[in-house]
Amino acid sequence: MAAAASEAEASVDSARLVQSTVRPGAWQDRPVVVISAAGQPREVLEHHAQLAALSSREQHVIADTTDHYVHYGQPQLVVDAVRRVASGAAL
């Protein structure tokens, strides 16, 4: 239970940090991949696309899995995205 509470607190802190940078071009040309689980409501997908668009080198990927934890449902998708971002070669 303590781990879940800690994760929830970290999510709120992360959301605040992201919110503070939400302005066009805020992330400049940093490579960004936002991965959304399939089956999300249109509003959620639009929000994820807007988040990705904070960078000029963005990619919004919609996974095939509906799992909330995409890294469990499609681990290779996440590994490939991390590699693209880390190499700076993507997007």
Reported as a single tens digit per residue, the pLDDT across 65-78 is 999 899 999 999 99
pLDDT, mean over the chain = 85
Looking at residue 4, its pLDDT comes to 67
Residue of 22 and 80 predicted with greater confidence:
80
Contact in structure between 58 and 91 (CB atoms under 8 Å): yes
Contact partners, residue 7, CB within 8 Å, separation at least 6:
none
The DSSP letter of residue 52 is H
Looking at residue 69, its pLDDT comes to 94
Confidence of residue 26 (pLDDT cuts 50, 70, 90): confident
